[in-house]
Amino acid sequence: MLQVLAQTNEPLFIIQDGARYHTSKAMQQFWAEHRQRITVYQLPSYSPDYNPIEYLWRKLKKSKTHNKYFAQFGELIATADQASMYVAQHPELILNLFGLYSEETGLAAAATVA
């Protein structure tokens, strides 16, 4: 997170699930220390439909692993690594998925009304 803070002076909005490493005392302290620049939104428990990253995982699984046979576990790992590297090199994919997420959850309509 410090690397992200160093790359921009803009405010950051973090959407996170309830994983222990997100809600630990150390992270709570980090968020408090950086509250001037970081706004954290906590998702409700067990709410994958509210988590935009799930759209990315769904797309990756569908395009790279669904209905495919992997003779060895290493082949699956290699395919997942290649998919992750591709996404890292194409940030527009993530932006498009967030647009889809906004449409499906009604956030896009809410933003135009506000």
- Are residues 11 and 56 located together in one domain of the fold? no
* Structural domain range at position 40: 1-47
SS3 20: helix
**Cα–Cα distance measured from residue 38 to residue 8, given in angstroms and rounded to the nearest whole number:** 12
Q: Are 31 and 15 in contact (CB under 8 A)?
A: no
Instruction: Tell me the one-letter amino acid at 82.
Output: Q
Query: Is 88 found in the same domain as 36?
Result: no
Which tens digit of pLDDT belongs to each residue from 99-111?
666 666 665 554 4
Whether residues 33 and 86 share a domain: the answer is no
Note whether 62 and 114 are same-domain residues.
Answer: yes
Claim to verify: residue 69 and residue 112 sit in the same structural domain: yes
- The CA-CA-CA angle for residues 104, 105, 110, to 5°, reads 110
Residue 42 and residue 16 share a domain: yes
Q: 46-103 pLDDT, tens per residue?
A: 776 677 777 788 888 888 888 889 999 999 999 999 988 888 888 787 777 766 666 6
* Total count of domains within the chain: 2
Give SS3 for 13.
strand
